[in-house]
Every structure is written in structure tokens, then in C-alpha cells.
């Protein structure tokens, strides 16, 4: 029998009814964790409510690992009081919380000049506010026990770039900053915080324009949610005690460690700068070091393995 890396731990996984969230809930349960399966059961754009997906994942976990190993929770991450109830579900049912996986998300893709404030706000609320609300609800418990791990889902849409996803990209890059700051603030309490930028077939991938059905099937075969889930389980376990404040990626059988913004060039002028002198000096010196305006597919031109 494989080693159970999360034995005795309790994990809250948001957006766990389908796709990557479901895979993370199943893999963490396989590794011995008790799971709060949180999902409102909304459509990709955040509309609607269906308790069936969360219930089905609970049934899958219980069938494989026994009764009591999972509980469904249908509260929304996008509301402060509701997020408190998500964490309370773990405390009331299992007496503790050790892991928070902030995975819940929606998409409302539209080119920037047509994006409405409502579409921007809705995506920010679920992704960025949701990650903050659930993490903030959990941190008093993790600090008190001096242990715990946050695993947040970021995206190459924010880290690299994407078209028609200003709201999503802003939220996902914000989550990377949120995770880094949580890691700093919580380090003294031995609480860790890391991000994963996943490449895996899911309902959200299906919304990407310009991709044929054949391409979708090929991507689904090579980028499975369980590959992301294994990385999440590792980041949540005690074996990763030294890993915090990092951004990793999973794409097929490849695992990435992402760089984070640091100065790469400096330029100095003893008499100070004007706009004209910057134009004369900065551009020739730095032009070759500017980050290209790329999209994810430009940075990953090879197929997943």
C-alpha cells in the first residue's frame, strides 16, 4: 500500500465538485486526509446552484475510504460569512483544520474594452476575495496549532498573459501576491502558503476560443487533473515543511518552479534623469531585457508529456 502522506489531517478543498478540485479532494483522501468537499455547483460563469457535484465526490471518497472521511459543504467562498461557515464545517465535523486548498473559480471571458464592471467584480470576488476569505477564516486555527498549509490555484493567465481574461488574470496574479504575503506573515507560526499554476483539462479549459474538439481530447489525455492533485497533496504534507512562498506548475508529467519578480537590470546616472535622457539611455540598454508580450502557448510551445 502506498504511503499515506496526509494521515490524520483535515483538508478544505473549495470548488471540489468537478475537475481539478475533485481530483485534489480524491487524492488527498487517498493519502489519509478527511475532506470538506466545498462546491456551490454553479455553472462556469458562476450562475446557478447544484448540490449534486459535491455530494457525488463525497460518495466517491466514502466508497473508497469509508464513511465519515468526507462531508459536503455548499457555501460560497465569495462571501465573508459564508467562508467562515466553510471552515466551521471542518471544525465542527472533525475538530480541526490542517489544509486549505483555494481552488473555487469562475470565468467570464471577454475582451477588455467590452468587459463590464459586473464581469470583473464577479471573477475577482470568487477567485481573489474567495482565497482571502477562506484563508482568513482558517488562519486562527492554524496559528493556534502551529501547523498547516495553504495551497492556492494561480494561473499562467496572470503569470504570463492571456487574451480576453483581464478579470481572471488580475485575480490569479493577485492570488500569487496573497500567497506570498501569507507565507511571510504566517512563517513564525509554522504555517505555509504556496501556489500552483495548473495545466489540466477542465470545464474552464473548454471555454478557451480557437481550440478544436480534437485538440481538446488530446489535451485531456496528456494533462489530467490528478497530475495537479499529486503536487497539491505534496505541498500540503509534512514532507514539504521547508516549502513556502513558492509558485509551482504541473503540466502532464512535468513540474515547474516559477521565478518571481526581482530586478534584472539597473542603470544609474549621477546627475539624475529626465524623460529625454531616459529615452536616450534606457531604451538601448534595456531593450533586449524587456519581457515580451507573450501568451501561455508562446512560453510553452512543446506538447505536454
DSSP the chain: ----TTTT-EEEEETTTSHHHHHHHHHHHHTT-EEEEE-----TTS----SHHHHHHHHHHHHHH-TTSEEEE---TTSHHHHHHHHHHHHHHHS---EEEE---------GGG--HHHHHHHHIIIIIHHHHHHHHHHHHHHHHT-EEEEEE--HHHHT--TT-HHHHHHHHHHHHHHHHHHHHHGGGTEEEEEEEEE---TTGGG-TT--HHHHHHHHHHS-HHHHHHHHHHHHSGGGTT--S-EEEEETTEEEE------------TT---HHHHHHHHHHHHGGGSPP---HHHH--SPP-
Q: Is 112 left (phi over 0), alpha (psi -120 to 50) or beta?
A: alpha
Task: Based on the residue annotation, tell me whether 168 is a catalytic residue of this protein.
Answer: yes
Site of grid cell 495553504: 150
Residue pair 80/71 in contact by the 8 Å Cβ criterion = no
Backbone φ and ψ of 213, nearest 5°:
-65, -35
Catalytic residue among 133, 168, 256, 258, which? Answer: 168
Residues known to be catalytic: 168
Amino acid at each position: 500500500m502506498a504511503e499515506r502522506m496526509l494521515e490524520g489531517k483535515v483538508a478544505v478543498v473549495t470548488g471540489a465538485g468537478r475537475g481539478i478540485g475533485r481530483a485534489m479532494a480524491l487524492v488527498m483522501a487517498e493519502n489519509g486526509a478527511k475532506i470538506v468537499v466545498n462546491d456551490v455547483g454553479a455553472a462556469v460563469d458562476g450562475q446557478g446552484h447544484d448540490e449534486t457535484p459535491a455530494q457525488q465526490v463525497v460518495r466517491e471518497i466514502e466508497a473508497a475510504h469509508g464513511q465519515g472521511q468526507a462531508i459536503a459543504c455548499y457555501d460560497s467562498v465569495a462571501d465573508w460569512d459564508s467562508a467562515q461557515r466553510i471552515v466551521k464545517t471542518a471544525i465542527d465535523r472533525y475538530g480541526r483544520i490542517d489544509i486549505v486548498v483555494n481552488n473555487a473559480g469562475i470565468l467570464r471571458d471577454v475582451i477588455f474594452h467590452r468587459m463590464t464592471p459586473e464581469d470583473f467584480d464577479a471573477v475577482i470576488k470568487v477567485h481573489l476575495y474567495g482565497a482571502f476569505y477562506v484563508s482568513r477564516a482558517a488562519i486562527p486555527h492554524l496559528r493556534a496549532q502551529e501547523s498547516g498549509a495553504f495551497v492556492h490555484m494561480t494561473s499562467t493567465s496572470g503569470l504570463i498573459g492571456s487574451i480576453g481574461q483581464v478579470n481572471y488574470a488580475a485575480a490569479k496574479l493577485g492570488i500569487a501576491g496573497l500567497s506570498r504575503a501569507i507565507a511571510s506573515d504566517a512563517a513564525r507560526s509554522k504555517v505555509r502558503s504556496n501556489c500552483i499554476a495548473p495545466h489540466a483539462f477542465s470545464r474552464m479549459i473548454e471555454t478557451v476560443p480557437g481550440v478544436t474538439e480534437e485538440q481538446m481530447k488530446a489535451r485531456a489525455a496528456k494533462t489530467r487533473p490528478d497530475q495537479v492533485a499529486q503536487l497539491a497533496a505534496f505541498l500540503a504534507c509534512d514532507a514539504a515543511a521547508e516549502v513556502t512562498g513558492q509558485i509551482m506548475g504541473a503540466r502532464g508529467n512535468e513540474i515547474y518552479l516559477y521565478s518571481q519578480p526581482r530586478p534584472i537590470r539597473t542603470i544609474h546616472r549621477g546627475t539624475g534623469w529626465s524623460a529625454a535622457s531616459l529615452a536616450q539611455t534606457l531604451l538601448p540598454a534595456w531593450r533586449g531585457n524587456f519581457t515580451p508580450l507573450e501568451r501561455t502557448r508562446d512560453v510553452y510551445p512543446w506538447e505536454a508529456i
